[in-house]
Amino acid sequence: MAEQFLSIEKIVKSFGGNTVVHGVDLGFGKGEFISLLGPSGCGKTTILRMIAGFERPTAGRIVVEGKDITHLSPNQRKIGMVFQAYALFPNMNVADNIGFGLKVAGIPRDKARARVAEMLALIGLSGFEKRFPFELSGGQQQRVALARALAPRPRMLLLDEPLSALDAKIRVSLREQIRAIQRELGITTIFVTHDQEEALSISDRIVVLNAGKVEQFGTPFEVYNRPASRFVATFVGTLNTLQATVADAAKKTVAIDGQVVTIPALPATARSGETVALTMRPEAIAIANGVPRDIVLDGTVSEVNFLGSVIRLKIDLGANAINLDIFNDQHTPPPAHGTPVRIGIASGDVLVLDG
């Protein structure tokens, strides 16, 4: 892990009597790409705005490279920021927008011009200098906003849901471009999003937030495969739940649909005879056609969703219903609605979540 660059220490933010951030403690390394992920109202944008200096924390402090910046005004923090609504200055052309921060900083005109050209090349918009924001598409505007934020060489980049206003295809290409630029410049970046796929694909580490508290802070792999709480498991990705009865708590066995299987993840607090919820990702379940799995269940296909490379099937198991993903095979059509199927689950892939 890189050295500690930004520390958010026991930060609290209240608006009137309503506390939206509850004592959040986080530390980010230099050059890391961090995503703040959570549903609307979880406090992710408030944390970002406190880092930018647009909101003053009610308690706690923000430290960058060992210096407390909690009470520094936003124009003294040397931070770049890209907003959801682009926020390009409508009265200025692309070159003037990108050069604004340089002009404010008193950079000589020829140096500023060279830097603007460098930034335009970086975002692939060379030749667009004289265009005005209204002459650009949403994706182009957001790239200009990114160049404008990076031009004054900030020590950190904040991205406040920069892809939300764009259509799906541009979102994917722009997020790849953002990540490539971030890697090239090695700039510490904090990215706010409510889109879990976006966060998983782009980040070095993800902070999952819920109701102003950190639910989990880890790599995309950890967050997806080893969710720290039921909230994380359900918010990030799709989760199946099967109701089972603990057969022998000491041996970590449970009974599902008449089968007794060992669940390594069964917590020590489980008691024999009680009902537990076993959870698993759709890709951890397979149609049991020869693949050895220790939990085998019979059901019928109740829904078929063709998603392109993947087909999601909903299997009705009587008391339970689960989703499973199979790869699309262009020579084999997916099972039809009502087809009886046998599914297999590896007990090692099963999670038992509390809360």
Partner 1 sequence: MKRSRLWAWSLFGIGAAYFLIPLIATFEFSLRMRRGAYSWDAYAAVFADPRFQATFSYSAFIALCTIVVGILLVVPAAYFVRLRLPHLRPIIEFVTLLPLIIPPIILVFGYIRLYNSSSWLPFTGSALATDLLLVFAYATLSLPLMYRAVDTGLRTIDVGTLTEAATILGANQVTILARIILPNILIAVLSGAFLTFAIVMGEFVIASLLSRPAFGPYLQLIGANRAYEPAALAIISFIITWGAMGTIQLLARFAPKTAARID
By the 8 A CB rule, do 37 and 219 touch? no
Among 36, 122, 136, 223, binds partner 1 (CB under 8 A): 136
Q: Closest Cα to residue 35, out of 26, 317, 92? A: 26
In the bound complex, what is the minimum distance in angstroms from residue 128's beta carbon to partner 1?
A: 13
Instruction: Give yes or no for residue 87 binding partner 1 (CB under 8 A).
Output: yes
Instruction: Give yes or no for residue 4 binding partner 1 (CB under 8 A).
Output: no
Among 13, 44, 148, 175, binds partner 1 (CB under 8 A): 148
The residue (of 133 and 282) whose beta carbon lies closer to partner 1 is 133
By the 8 A CB rule, do 252 and 266 touch? yes
By the 8 A CB rule, do 15 and 9 touch? no
DSSP 313-325: EEEE-SS-EEEEE
Instruction: Give yes or no for residue 54 binding partner 1 (CB under 8 A).
Output: yes
Instruction: Give yes or no for residue 85 binding partner 1 (CB under 8 A).
Output: yes
User: What is the chain's length?
Assistant: 355
By the 8 A CB rule, do 27 and 65 touch? no
Instruction: Give yes or no for residue 83 binding partner 1 (CB under 8 A).
Output: yes
* Residues β-bridged to residue 80: 157
Q: How far apart are CA 98 and CA 118, in angstroms?
A: 10
Among 5, 28, 33, 86, binds partner 1 (CB under 8 A): 86
Q: Closest Cα to residue 139, out of 109, 108, 175? A: 175
Residue type, 60: G
Among 89, 114, 243, 337, binds partner 1 (CB under 8 A): 89
The residue (of 53 and 220) whose beta carbon lies closer to partner 1 is 53
In the bound complex, what is the minimum distance in angstroms from residue 90's beta carbon to partner 1?
A: 4
Instruction: Give yes or no for residue 121 binding partner 1 (CB under 8 A).
Output: no
Instruction: Give yes or no for residue 134 binding partner 1 (CB under 8 A).
Output: yes
User: Which tokens is 70 given?
Assistant: 């909690």
Half-sphere exposure of 314 (CA within 13 A, CB side): 10
Q: Closest Cα to residue 198, out of 346, 314, 46, 37? A: 37
The region of 30-38, 73-81, 111-119, 268-276 touching partner 1 under the rule CB under 8 A is 73-81
- One character per residue 246-265, x = contact with partner 1 (rule: CB under 8 A): --------------------
User: Which tokens is 86 given?
Assistant: 């682009």
User: How many CB atoms sit inside 10 A of residue 289's CB?
Assistant: 9
Instruction: Give yes or no for residue 194 binding partner 1 (CB under 8 A).
Output: no
Instruction: Give yes or no for residue 95 binding partner 1 (CB under 8 A).
Output: no
The residue (of 54 and 306) whose beta carbon lies closer to partner 1 is 54
Instruction: Give yes or no for residue 135 binding partner 1 (CB under 8 A).
Output: yes
The region of 82-90, 179-187, 256-264, 316-324 touching partner 1 under the rule CB under 8 A is 82-90
Sites of contact with partner 1 (CB under 8 A): 52-54, 73-81, 83, 85-91, 100-101, 104-105, 132-138, 141, 145, 148-149, 152
